[in-house]
Chain A
Amino acid sequence: MPELRHTPLHERHVALGASFTDFGGWDMPVRYTSDLAEHRAVREAAGLFDISHMAEFLVTGSGAGAFLDYALAGRLSTLAVGKAKYSLVLAEDGGIVDDVIVYRTAADHVLMVVNAANIAKDEAHVRKHLPKGVAFADRSADTALIAIQGPRAADILARIAGGSVAALPPFGVKSARAAGAEATIARTGYTGEDGFEVFIDNADAAGVWQALLVAGRGDAIVPVGLGARDTLRLEARFSLYGNDIDETTGPIEAGLGWTCKLDKDFVGRDAIAKQKADGPKRRIVGLVVEGGVARHGHDVTSGGKVVGKVTSGTFGPTVAQNIALAYVPTELSKVGTALAVRIRDKDVPATVVKTPFYRRAA
């Protein structure tokens, strides 16, 4: 087995007593103390995440926006400087190659954050369609990424990066100094809470991490591992690539049709237009499961017959219910539909519910 990769914060995690897990070839902290406590800290105060395993692509040149309009499902050419947008990389057949966040940091300067496991195929996709005059660089090896999430995040981050970060709108992005280091700071996240993602050079990662822990001490900030990251994102109904979406799923059935702008040409456009016209045969739905925890890969049944599959499932600590995402036939996807999840050979009752499971108070 190849050796697991370490982020620049690995020694900090060891010092904090983290347990680790192999996440796509990275040795990542899964929890520091307790999944439930870390989950609650993010909902009620603030949590700090090392997500340096995520990959960063830089696309530069005056044609970057137009190029991304063709390479991605969404319209990026009109994305304002200082704003970010969620988008999809699609295959010609409409399958999802990756889900990404695109940050327009300057007029001819676009940062694209992609899933670590998909770097090779994302790079191949970008390079295949890259026009003359647009440059591509993979900055992943030099870039660390720290997320600070939760209702106290803005106040804590402002202490080390200045008050202007607190004025960033949701999905806003700007350059700033954080604990003396040059940083790109975005008001984005994967938890359903207010929060920020802070891009810095590897060499500055430990300093920024430590500064945030110290600045947030009075606000009960805690480091948060991948265990709670998963329960937080599932309550907020964010898709996890490799679980809920992949190359065998299409954006329409995955509930991501809103990201596809069919009034422009892009890779996969014709397939998506057809999916939309035909209507999907199956749809992803939220389930609340009574009497068992649904997990990725469990069958969904109706009247004892297998009709679908769970793609993500867990106990939702804030909603205090067992929640899941599953693909089911469109005719069984209406809110309120009674289904079941087959857990250890037993059909456990499950109901289709509205998502997100959790939405923070405005």
Chain B
Amino acid sequence: MSAVPDDLRYSKEHEWVRLEGDTATIGITHFAQEQLGDVVFVELPEKSASVRQFASLGVVESVKAASDIYSPISGEVVERNVKVIEKPELVNTSPYEQGWLVKVKLADKGEINKLLSAEDYRAHIGETAGAGGD
């Protein structure tokens, strides 16, 4: 597993998006789960809730603290990952596959352009790590 898969788009807040037609699968990155530590609780929006790009999507709690997740994209929640609610550690063990959080029906495909490519995201976390982490 690559730490930053090439086929995804990324937010600066360390969420990823996988596009399939007009549906976006959303999760948090390998880098994010590493920074958080062991995830023990995940709170996600209900099905058919609408989410806005860069607004709060939910919360993941690690042993030490709660962290907000921001939606990288606007749209309507069409599915939430029930497995990750039952087994929050999937966020750590499989951030890009079994640890996905929600699927969203896109409201505006143009928003994708506001997200980072894999290459840009790599540079972004390289800089963050270089500055001593956050």
Contact = CB atoms under 8 A, between A and B. Distances in A.
A258 to B, nearest CB: 30
9 contacts: A34-B37, A34-B38, A35-B64, A231-B63, A293-B41, A295-B66, A322-B40, A322-B41, A344-B43
A36 B43 contact: no
A315 interface: yes
B64 A30 contact: yes
B64 A227 contact: yes
Interface residues of B, number: 13
B37 A315 contact: no
Contacts of B89: 36
A228 B63 CA distance: 8
Interface in A282-333: 292-293, 295, 314-315, 317, 322
Query: What does DSSP make chain A's interface, helix, strand, loop or mixed?
Result: mixed
Interface string B23-41: 0000000000000011011
A344 B63 contact: no
Interface residues on A, range: 10 to 19
A31 interface: yes
Contacts of A295: 65-66
Nearest to A292: B41
A227 B37 contact: yes
Interface string B64-83: 11100000000000000000
Given A227-B63, A231-B63, A293 B37 contact: no
Nearest to B85: A291
A104 B38 CA distance: 40
Nearest to A37: B38
Contacts of A322: 40-41
